[in-house]
Structures are given as structure tokens and as C-alpha cells.
């Protein structure tokens, strides 16, 4: 069933640009920059207090107009995801973990424009679609504070780091992403975006799903590039 789903997506990606080539609407190139807050959701985060973890996303894409308002906009991006949380066992004993993940994402998005249809008109832009990510590299840091076995009345803090992809996280991620923004002169778009994973990335017990909420900047270029 999963292989059939991927085949359908692949055929859609190939056929849509071919269908729009003969239309009067002009394809554009997209530069995408995003600043966001990332976290995990799922059973694997039980009992933890999560903190703000900043991340960025940098991507390029193509906007193929289907109609005057609808476009097919596939995008390739280098996307940071991860998690920062703390488990308190007492006022003096805790485990703080910071996980930084870096993915290469492919997103076949559908974009709808609401507002003026003139060449330099503005309005609202709504885009959404699935994303498929492959983990490239990562870094995980664990800070643990507990009783000192050599001095029972004191505490000791230890820091360990390693790679989560090779230990307890899967490299493949998949989910859904949506964005809502304001378009100015059909050239620049500013807005908010939300992403949620639907594929459990934990290799062990306790499901984990990527999530993010952020702000994006998009610049649309003609054939000058």
C-alpha cells in the first residue's frame, strides 16, 4: 500500500508540470527561508517539560501555475528539527536532553492565491502538502544531575553526547505541512507555517513525532535566475 502511495505522488509530480507548460501563466523559482520552534510529540515525551528550541529551514522550489489562482509548488529544503526537554526527578536531580536533527525534505505543495490577479497584485497565499524527509546528520546532548556516589551529600553533573540517528531515531520522516501568508506584488510572501509528522521516528518504545511552528519568507523569481 505504501509503495502505491509513493508511485501516485511521483506520477503527480511528473504530470502536473507537463500539463501547465502550455498555459499562459509563467512558472517561477522560489527561495524559502523559515525560522521556527521545533519539538517532539507522542508517548516518548511523557513526564518531560519541553523548552523553546529554535531552528531554521532553507529551501528552493518551483511554482507551476495551474490556473490564475492555483499553483503546484514542489520544494527541496534543508530542514532542522529536534527537541529540548527536561525531566525533573527532584529539585536537585534531573535529566536535560537536547536533540538536533537535520533533514533533506521534499514537499510537493499545492498553493492557492486569494486576492488581486494583476501582475503586481497582492493578497493571501495558502499552501499545503505532504513532506518526505531523510535524516542527514544529528547531535544529541544529555545533561544529567544526580547524587555523587563519593560524597552522598553532594551532587554531580555529567554531560554526554552522540548521534541519535544511529542509536534510537529513524532517519526517515514523513508528515504534513501548511503555510498562510501575505503576498506583496507577486514577489515576496511573509507568513506562518505549521508542520506535523505522521511517521513515528522512534526506533524503540514510546512513539515520537516531529512538530514545528514558525515564520517564513518566500521570494518568487522569474527566469532571470
76-98 pLDDT, tens per residue? 999 999 999 998 888 889 999 89
Measuring CA to CA, how many Å separate 117 from each of 25, 70, 168, 199? 11, 11, 49, 38
| Among 189, 183, 179, 176, residue whose Cα is nearest residue 118 | 183
Measuring CA to CA, how many Å separate 153 from each of 88, 89, 157, 158, 166? 19, 17, 14, 17, 37
- Residue-range domain boundaries for the chain: 2-13+29-221
Q: Please tell me the total number of residues recorded for the chain in this structure.
A: 225
**What is the pLDDT at residue 14?**
47
Q: Cell for 223?
A: 527566469
**What is the pLDDT at residue 18?**
46
- In order along its 225 residues, the chain shows pLDDT tens digits of 545 544 555 455 545 544 444 445 678 899 999 999 999 998 878 778 888 899 999 999 999 999 888 999 999 999 999 999 998 888 889 999 899 999 999 999 999 988 776 666 678 999 999 999 999 999 999 999 998 888 878 899 999 888 888 788 999 999 999 999 999 877 899 999 999 999 999 988 889 999 999 999 999 888 644
CATH number of 2-13+29-221: 2.40.160.20
Amino acid at each position: 500500500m505504501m509503495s502505491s502511495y509513493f508511485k501516485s505522488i511521483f506520477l503527480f509530480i511528473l504530470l502536473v508540470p507537463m500539463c501547465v507548460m502550455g498555459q499562459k501563466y509563467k512558472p517561477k523559482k522560489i527561495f524559502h527561508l523559515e525560522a521556527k520552534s521545533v519539538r517532539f510529540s507522542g508517548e516518548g515525551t511523557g513526564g518531560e517539560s519541553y523548552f523553546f528550541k529554535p531552528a531554521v529551514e532553507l529551501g528552493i522550489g518551483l511554482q507551476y501555475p495551474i490556473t490564475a489562482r492555483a499553483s503546484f509548488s514542489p520544494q527541496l529544503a534543508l530542514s532542522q528539527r529536534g527537541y529540548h526537554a527536561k525531566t525533573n526527578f527532584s529539585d536537585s536531580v534531573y535529566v536535560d536532553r537536547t536533540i538536533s536533527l537535520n533533514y533533506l525534505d521534499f514537499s510537493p505543495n499545492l498553493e492557492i492565491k486569494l486576492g488581486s490577479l494583476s501582475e503586481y497584485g497582492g493578497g493571501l497565499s495558502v499552501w499545503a502538502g505532504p513532506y518526505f524527509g531523510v535524516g542527514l546528520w544529528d547531535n544529541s546532548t544529555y545533561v544529567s544531575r544526580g547524587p555523587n556516589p563519593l560524597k552522598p551529600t553532594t551532587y554531580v553533573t555529567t554531560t554526554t553526547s552522540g548521534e541519535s540517528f544511529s542509536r534510537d531515531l529513524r532517519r526517515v520522516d514523513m508528515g504534513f505541512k501548511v503555510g498562510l501568508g501575505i503576498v506583496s506584488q507577486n514577489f515576496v510572501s511573509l507568513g506562518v507555517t505549521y508542520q506535523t509528522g505522521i511517521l513515528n521516528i522512534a526506533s524503540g518504545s514510546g512513539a515520537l513525532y516531529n512538530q514545528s511552528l514558525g515564520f517564513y519568507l518566500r521570494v518568487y523569481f522569474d527566469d532571470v535566475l
